Amino acid sequence: MSCMGSLRVQKRLAGQVRQPDPLTHTLSEAFPETATDAAAIGFVLARLPRTDAPILWVQDRLSRKEAGRPYLAGIGTRRPVIMVDLSRAVDVLWAMEDGLRCRSLGAVIGEIWGDPPSLDFTATKRLALRAEAADVPCWLIRRAASPDLSAARDRWRIGAVPSAPHPHDVQAPGAPRWALDLFRSRRSKPGQWVATYDRAQDRLNLVAPVRDRTLATGDGTAGERAAG
Amino acid sequence: MERQGNAPPDDIPIVLAREGHHGPVIHAANRTARVNGILPGSRVVDMRAICPELQVEFADEAGDHAALDRLVLWARRWCPWTVRDGADGLILDTTGSDHLLGGEAAMLVEMETQLSLLGLTARLAVAPTWGAAWALARFGPVRSICGADEVHFKLGALPVTGLRLDDATVLLLRRLGLKTIGAVMDVPRLSLTRRFVKAALAANPLMRLDQALGKLAEPVASVDAKPRFVVQSRLAEPIFDPAPYLPELCEDLCAALAKAGMGCRRLHLTVFKTDGDVSHVDVATSAPTRDPGHLHGLFRDKVERINPGFGFDLITLEAGGVEEMQVLQNRLDGGADDDLHLTRLVDRLSAKFGPRAVTRPVLRESHIPERAEGQVAALAAMAETGRAVTKERPLRLFDHPEEVRVLYAVPEGPPAQFIWRRQTHRVARYAGPERIAPEWWKDRPGTRLRDYFKVEDQAGRRIWLYREGLHEDGRGGDPRWFVHGCFA
């Protein structure tokens, strides 16, 4: 019985490399609207599969300096985090690629500031193939970057919008809400949503924005500002 | 035992000092100092008054400890069963090995000669029990030999300090008029039992006496020498790049480790250059391993840093931190061990970027946000504190809080408008304050308290803002505002 099971598992793994299955984990890119916005981090963490496997989190020096470092008390201690603090984008890409060889990781998150020359189509393609082969979700968070050519399977532009009303306090911000723009995707249809995150239940609700027009123009200006 | 490596002349009084409760105290003194009345354990300032020309050096107690541990293994040349005794002694179980050195008297002379060649002064004694040997070596005649039937009267003349008792008990016995071990032996056994029935071993003269006389067992538990795993390759002529020889060396070393059932946590690669110089490269792993491919991979970028000079003709690879390693299989289909993969990943990252770049954040017991998180080594085993985070905390924290310029302050709550990183933020909603007082047991006096606010600006960005101090709190001027983190 166990032999049969293992055969099936191996078959499934072998099949993944040739034909991307919509359920496998892959490389996604997230572009925060402003550099200091933690909405992208919140969205990425909410999208990770619910396991106790450790996260490999690689940061370059500028990201750490300009946007801070992940704070464990806010992320939660359910999953152990292995932080790698590096200075160059090449090293970040090397560490992420090395991390994707390890199937016991829950996720690999990399943060790269700007548009370094080393982060080209080849580099993202290598990351995407490795992530699909290992079936580990890989997120590249790119601050102050322009969405150039990339092999990332999903590319998100993420910004914060005013939060939901607080149930007990009119004056206080409530559950976080994010404006999501999936502007390129290989596996699903691109679109725009406003996401509400329920922290207590770890639940992400996506709703199509009511005012399409306004949100679209808002996204555009914010994107230009971030790129310039 | 005194180390006389490059010893100063014997006619100058010299003492070693260690830190005591009220300033430095004497750790050890040389012969001249002892003749001048210097007592180990007393304060250095008092002894300077007695002997103004006293020279003081600080003792290296950890170094002495390590040296004594090495000496334990060195002493295996005389008998196979040796152990360290306290801070300044060795116990050798020479049962059945003295005849190899020509009897006990000749053995003691041989030991004293060999130790003096190392630069060590030793006082030696042979006795049937640990306790008797301890007392005779310290208080008995030179190189005394005590047979099994003469313990009673040889110990009887020695002072009561020879019973390995703590200072308080020795003082008590002296006050009772029991100055020699013989006097303690003459006291009826029942009276001693009654008086010291609850005392611990170090404060119980009766148990110590029984140990010295052999009525109470005191076995010698020897330590094992750790095996050394070294492989080397001698080259016919000098070369400049050790890389082609590394895979074979790693395989040989791992084969030796596998044979012994061990794994190593450090590897030292040493190249011996033709001009007599030696270069080292060290790598470390986070878990014991004996996988040649993995160990070879750790040297990938490091071998280039060796300066070959005029070439080298001998390469050695030594395993350090050798531990027992069990072969684990956690999947039924014989698949790879998941945890092992993680340790290898951490090894690779630490070898490339340095161990300080790869860390794991852990929660610590503190209310101050930056102190509530600590860094440990990525795979360090640690007890889970189980501390639950009750308050809402941001996802990102800045290493250094960034000061903001307040444009429009309001008496209660956060500022209505402020400039942070050259952008104006208008506070639309806020929650707080959450007051966090300084930790008076750690912070300097005058540290101001913080009032934290979670504010949301007009664009929906949620920022963790704090005011340092209060108006008129007498700890500096007007309170300043800082951004400390960002919420999702």
Q: Name which of A68, A76, A84 is nearest B486 (Cβ-Cβ).
A: A68
- B130-139 vs B205-213: helix crossing angle, rounded to 10: 100
- The encoded tokens of residue B154 equal 């040889």
The arithmetic mean of pLDDT across residues A152-181, rounded, is: 92
Task: Locate all alpha helices (DSSP H) within A34-187, ordered by sequence.
Answer: 39-47, 61-67, 72-75, 89-99, 121-134
- When pLDDT is cut at 50, 70 and 90, the band that residue B182 belongs to is very high
**Residue found under tokens 């108006």:** B471
A56 lies within 8 A of chain B by CB:
yes
Per-residue model confidence (pLDDT) at position B338: 52
The pairing of beta strand B480-486 with beta strand B462-468: antiparallel
Query: What is the separation of C-alpha B153 from the centre of its chain, rounded to a whole number of angstroms?
Result: 43
Q: For chain A, give the percent of residues with pLDDT over 90.
A: 53
Sign of the dihedral through C-alpha B63, B64, B65, B69: positive
The string of pLDDT tens digits covering residues B318-353 is 998 888 877 766 566 655 555 567 888 888 898 889
What's the pLDDT score for residue A9?
38
Query: Mean pLDDT of all residues in chain B?
Result: 87
Calculate mean pLDDT across residues B196-202: 88
CB contact set of B113 (below 8 Å; sequence gap of 6+): none
Q: Chain A, 107-136: which have a CB under 8 Å from a chain B CB?
A: none
Confidence at residue B251, expressed as pLDDT on a 0 to 100 scale: 92
A83/B359 touch (CB, cutoff 8 Å), yes or no: yes
pLDDT at A15: 39
Structural domains of chain A ordered from first start: 22-227 (3.40.50.300)
Q: Which of B357, B375, B395 sits opposite A70 (nearest CB)?
A: B395
* B298 residue type, one letter: L
pLDDT in tens, B341-399: 788 888 889 888 988 999 999 888 888 999 988 888 887 765 565 566 678 899 999 99
pLDDT tier, A89 (very low <50, low <70, confident <90, very high otherwise): very high
> What is the rounded CA–CA span in Å between residue B302 and residue B268?
12
- What's residue A142's pLDDT? 94
The tokens for A201 are 């239940």
| Residue B307's pLDDT band (cuts 50, 70, 90) | confident
The answer to whether B398 and B483 are in contact (CB under 8 A) is yes
Percent of the residues in chain B that have a pLDDT greater than 70, as a whole number? 94
Q: How far apart are the first and last CA of chain B?
A: 65
- The answer for A 71-110 residues in CB contact with B (under 8 A) is 71-77, 80-86, 91, 94-95, 98-99, 101-105
- B277 or B332, higher pLDDT: B277
HSE, side-chain direction, 13 A CA sphere, residue A145: 28
At A29 the pLDDT is 94
Residue type, B455: V
Q: Nearest Cβ partner of A75 from B345, B395, B455? A: B395
Contacts of B394 (CB under 8 A, 6+ apart): A38, A71, A74, B462, B464, B484, B485, B486, B487
**Cβ contact (<8 Å) for B397 and A71?**
yes
On chain A, the residues whose CB falls within 8 A of the CB of B462 are 38, 160, 163, 173, 176
Q: What is the pLDDT of residues A204-226, one digit of tens each?
A: 888 877 655 554 444 444 434 33
Domains of chain B: 14-59 (3.40.1170.60), 80-213 (no CATH), 230-346 (3.30.1490.100), 396-486 (no CATH)
Share of residues in chain B with pLDDT > 90 (%): 37
Residue A55 confidence (pLDDT) above 90: yes
Averaged confidence pLDDT in chain A: 82
pTM above 0.90, yes or no: no
The reported pLDDT for the residue numbered A14 is 41
Would you state the pLDDT for residue B88? Answer: 87
- Name the residue with higher pLDDT: A124 or B337: A124
DSSP sequence for B289-357: E--HHHHHHHTTTTGGG---TT-EEEEEEEEES-EE------STT-PPPHHHHHHHHHHHHHHHH-TTT
pLDDT per residue as tens digits for the range A108-117: 999 999 999 9
pLDDT band at B198 (very low <50, low <70, confident <90, very high): confident
